[in-house]
Amino acid sequence: MRCLGAAAVLLGLLGGALATEVICYWASWTSYRTGNGKVTVDDLDPSKCSIYIYAFATLDENTLTMKPFDTSLDIDKKGYEKFVAMKKRNSRLRTLLALGGYNDSGPKYSSMLSSASKRARFVRRAVAFLREHGFDGLDLDYEYPTAA
């Protein structure tokens, strides 16, 4: 039942994505690589995807709200701004921000999800964070659930 609920939420978020949707995922840390492995926002082609996901933001352990994972790249070097600006080159593109991932999942997510009030606070602040930075939605990549 839990998987069915998650699938329904994802379909709702994507507006009932068609079979022709192409979802692309950009791992922001690739901009620190050298040589052929280096991929910056400027290297991304927004015409190839209908949805582009920026990985990752992180969950603040104290406030249980979203924050940039790499402030230098995401904010100072305008990673978020450049990423959502791809919509100027593809007006049908939707940009999502991924939260979590392998390195960020764990007990703090279980704590945030453990009560209705914590979830509501998270959602309010997540929506504000996404709007502030111009993203169209959230990809919650919560791995390795644990008991709160």
Using CA atoms, how far residue 63 sits from 20, 87, 111, 126, in Å, is: 39, 31, 11, 12
Give the number of domains in the chain: 1
pTM value is 0.84
The CATH number covering residue 71 comes to: 3.20.20.80
Does residue 62 lie within any of the structural domains?
Answer: yes
pLDDT at 144: 76
Does residue 55 lie within any of the structural domains?
Answer: yes
Query: If you ran DSSP here, which 8-state letter would residue 107 be given?
Result: H
Q: CB-hemisphere CA count at 13 Å for 75? A: 9
Does residue 130 lie within any of the structural domains?
Answer: yes
The yes-or-no answer on residue 143 being catalytic is yes
Residue of 21, 61, 81, 143 marked active site: 143
Tens of pLDDT, residues 88-139: 999 999 999 999 998 888 889 999 999 999 999 999 999 999 999 999 999 9
The total of other beta-carbon atoms located within 10 Å of residue 144's CB is 11
Domain extent, residue 48, equals: 20-141
